[in-house]
Structure 1
Amino acid sequence: MKHLITFCMCIISFVAFGQKEKTDMKKEKPKNLTECIQMLDKNLKKEDKEYIKTLTEEEFFMESHFTIGMGIRNEWIRGGNPELVKFFLEKGVKHPDDMSAMILTSYYRQLLGKEIDFEGQISAHKKQLK
């Protein structure tokens, strides 16, 4: 529980205040999945990354959906970033929650050295819609 609270506080401060020596998350807007992953990796602290590596993919998603996921939705997707939204719309992904989920899943997999399998994520998403 202590780790969860620490992780949430780190993510909230990351989203709310950014890290000036790194990237201003409110000003720099990624245009595609690769840029999203790079920006997250650049801004998350080493200890946050180490903690994330202790989680399962599902645990990471559950812990980050309303923290960093909300920041992604508010700043990158709803915050006037037409290029990123267009990137996902062209893949058939229309809902901001689904977009942020794919960004989070992809970041987690990249961090753990796993295959991102973005096309597989899109296929699974389309099956859920049917």
Structure 2
Amino acid sequence: MRTYYFSILLFLVTCSVSFGQPHKIGDYTITPTIDSTFSHNVYIPENLEGSFRELDKMLTEALIDEIKSCPSEELLLRRFNTGPLGEWIQRNWGFRDLNGSRLSRHLHGMGIQHPTHMSAVILESYWRYLHGQQIRVEDQMPLLQES
């Protein structure tokens, strides 16, 4: 009997970590990986590469195509970073939390301090990733100073 309850508990915990629940952000629905071990109950990547994998999983194909179709990084930043997607990333990936998150600490270590700049680097880097370009965070710094 004890094993039965343990098996049920293990199943529920596994489901809560593995399966995302839809979040409505603006005109889009995203499905982040749910992970109750993080403060906002969504998985927070460790670094930029991890954020690309999570964005690939949680964004719809239509939204990925829309991001990819932006003609330049500058347009991407104006269109997405200041909108619901950028705000969602800042809030749910812990950029505005008092102690930060592992991803915000990683970006802070790269010299990126402000939550809006952190989400901008993620979205611009993701755009470059989708286009098969080198990420080159240092090249993104001038754009951040303009935003």
Report TM bin, short chain.
Answer: 0.7 to 0.9
What CA distance in whole angstroms lies between the structure 1 residues aligned with 2:50 and 2:100? 13
Matched with 1:109 is 128
Query: Share of identical aligned residues, percent?
Result: 30
Deviation (angstroms), 1:125: 6.7
User: Given the alignment of the two structures, is residue 74 of structure 1 paired with residue 91 of structure 2, yes or no?
Assistant: yes
Higher helix share: 1
Is this contact kept in 2: 1:102–1:121, CA < 8 A? yes
Deviation (angstroms), 1:30: 1.0
Higher relative contact order, chain-length normalized (CA < 8 Å, sep 6+): 1
Is this contact kept in 1: 2:128–2:135, CA < 8 A? yes
What CA distance in whole angstroms lies between the structure 1 residues aligned with 2:52 and 2:117? 16
Matched with 1:53 is 68
Aligned Cα root-mean-square deviation (Å): 2.5
Deviation (angstroms), 1:70: 0.3
What CA distance in whole angstroms lies between the structure 1 residues aligned with 2:116 and 2:66? 23
Within-5 A mapping of 1:1-130: 8-10=26-28, 13-14=29-30, 19=31, 23-24=33-34, 26-56=41-71, 57-65=73-81, 66-76=83-93, 77-79=95-97, 81-122=100-141, 124=142, 128=145
Q: Which secondary structure state, in structure 2, belongs to the residue aligned with residue 70 of structure 1? A: helix
Q: 4+ residue runs of structure 1 moved beyond 3 angstroms?
A: none
Q: 1:125 to 1:47 in 2, by over 3 A?
A: closer
TM-score normalised by structure 1 residue count: 0.73
Deviation (angstroms), 1:81: 4.7
Which stretches in structure 1 are left out of the alignment for 5+ residues?
1-6
Is this contact kept in 1: 2:67–2:76, CA < 8 A? yes
Deviation (angstroms), 1:52: 2.2
Is this contact kept in 2: 1:8–1:63, CA < 8 A? no
Which stretches in structure 2 are left out of the alignment for 5+ residues?
1-24, 36-40
Q: Which secondary structure state, in structure 1, belongs to the residue aligned with residue 57 of structure 2? A: helix
Query: C-alpha deviations, 1:52-89, integer Å up to 9, x for none?
Result: 22212222222212211001100112256521121112
What CA distance in whole angstroms lies between the structure 2 residues aligned with 1:54 and 1:87? 28
Higher strand share: 2
Is this contact kept in 2: 1:29–1:81, CA < 8 A? no
For these two proteins, the number of residue pairs brought into alignment is 113
